[in-house]
Structure 1
């Protein structure tokens, strides 16, 4: 997945803050090594907690979010596009949807953050899981 503009800005701001922190610790170390040791210990513990929080957010924080507005598009006769998961899709004549759509995974699956496009006759696209699709006539 390509990096987006906000993530690049966050990356460079993190690099800048880290650089300033290293320079500050070096300056304090020259003046008082004991004080620099104490500051580095506290800063390391705080940054470790921030890193754990960011890791958890990156792993679990984006679940269930819909894709960006306007990114779901269906074009073509009987085409279907869904930003998240769909249980059953039927686009044919005389075809019945199943009485009970197939069970979706417990986690619901991740949705994509980019465009979801179904183009062409009877095409189907989803940003998440698809349980069952029937595009033909009975």
Structure 2
């Protein structure tokens, strides 16, 4: 029995009980009193049983997909958060910026991928990056 079936069963029982109490109250109030007590107790027990049934049989919520951080190219760099400073070239340097904001992880299920040669990817900010070779001068 699915959750919608249980829901509609509960609604149907409530409607039938309400109609029965109204009809009983219009015909004979003294006779309706014991029926109301029995119907109220039965409705409470049935409602509790249906609630427990749905809680036990409902599948749990799926877990959030995991984030993915991948660096696959030669000299590539990937980070799930911020990158302060990175250099991938021969003889090159990248100085770190004076301040970087706090790193926050990428949202669940996001993908950060650096797949080309000397590629750089970040789930956050990149402060300073250098992907080329340092130039040299011959004298």
Give TM-score, length-normalised by structure 2: 0.47
Larger radius of gyration: 2
Give TM-score, length-normalised by structure 1: 0.48
